[in-house]
Every structure is written in structure tokens, then in C-alpha cells.
Amino acid sequence: MNTKITASAGAAAAPAVVLIGPMGSGKSTVGKELAAALNRPFLDLDEKIVRDNQLSIPEIFARFQESGFRDRESQALAEALEHKQAVVASGGGIILREQNRLLLKEKAFTIYLYCDVQTQFERTRGDNNRPMIYAEDRKARLTEIFTLREPWYLECADLRIDSGKHSPQDCVQEILQAAGSLKL
């Protein structure tokens, strides 16, 4: 597995753990297992947004467009980071806004779950709850999104794990091994 640990000020200063990465990378699945392993609460930002707005993500996109969703996503991240012991699964686009990238670097230990486009495509194939990939050619759209976002995932990451080739349990074990010396 590709693992990179960076000794950033954000990682040393804040105990919140945030999982970032493209859709289908396993942020929610790995996040739940990591939270259980660390005996911490788990927060899923997409679930929080849906619960707070009493609308599905596609309904939020339809009613408020992407910018309205991103506003809600930024607010949810800021609120989640108040729970310093939480493990947080972010949405794939959390890194699009500079304010979110700054929060991630300053207030969280951020784990980038890397996942290649083919695996993302296979994992999201039957999922119609992802407005960002409503396209005739979903694989091309996933490639476009990944190309845009990956530099920001890498910029924010304190740790990079390849979740496309390993089970969620293996990812959690890799995170625990790599992060043990950082006292998460």
C-alpha cells in the first residue's frame, strides 16, 4: 500500500481525523471501521447535510445548485471539526474550496483514500445519488473530476492510503500502523 506520513503542523495540533478522497474510495466504510478501532465517534458529512436539510443530495443540488451544496458542506466540515475526537468521512468535493483545505490542514489529521478511476467507476456504477457524475459517460466524468481534484487531495493529506486495491479492514490496519507513532 502507498503510505506517506507528513509531519505537518495540522496533524500534530489536532486530533480530529478526516478521510478525503474521490467518490467510491471508501471514506464512509473505512471511516466507520476506523472510528470503531480508535473508539471514537464517527461523522459522515453527507449524512449530516442530508439530515440537517431534510433533503437528499440530488434534491439539494436541484434546489440550490452545486454552490448551495458546497456552502452546506463547508458548514458541516467546520461543525464536525469541533468534535476533536471524531473520525469524519468527507464528501469527495470537500477540497474544492480553499477555506476547507485550510481547515483540513490546520485542524485535522487528514487521510487521503486514493482510488483509481476504474475502481471508482465499478463502485459507483449503480449509484444514482451522486449528482456530480450524472453524465452520459460516467467514466469520463470520473476521470475529469479525479484529474481536477487529486492535487488538492495530496496537498491536504497527512497520510495517503490506496483504498482501491485493499479491503476496508486492511486500510484501517495500515492507518493504525502508520499513525500509531503520531498518537491519534
Q: pLDDT by residue (tens digit) across 72-114?
A: 999 999 999 987 789 999 999 999 999 999 999 999 999 999 9
- Where are the chain's structural domains? 9-179
Tens-place pLDDT, residues 39-69: 999 999 999 999 999 999 999 999 999 999 9
Cα–Cα distance for residue pair 35/17, rounded to 1 Å:
9
Tens-place pLDDT, residues 108-147: 999 999 999 898 888 777 666 665 566 677 889 889 999 9
Architecture of the 9-179 domain: 3-Layer(aba) Sandwich (3.40)
Cα–Cα distance for residue pair 171/115, rounded to 1 Å:
12
Cα–Cα distance for residue pair 19/44, rounded to 1 Å:
10
Cα–Cα distance for residue pair 148/176, rounded to 1 Å:
29
Determine the pLDDT at residue 127. Answer: 63
Q: Is 161 helix (H, G, I), strand (E, B) or coil?
A: strand
Cβ-proximal residues to 145 (8 Å cutoff; 6+ apart), any chain = 22, 23, 92, 132, 133
Tens-place pLDDT, residues 136-182: 778 898 899 999 999 999 999 999 999 988 899 999 999 998 876 55
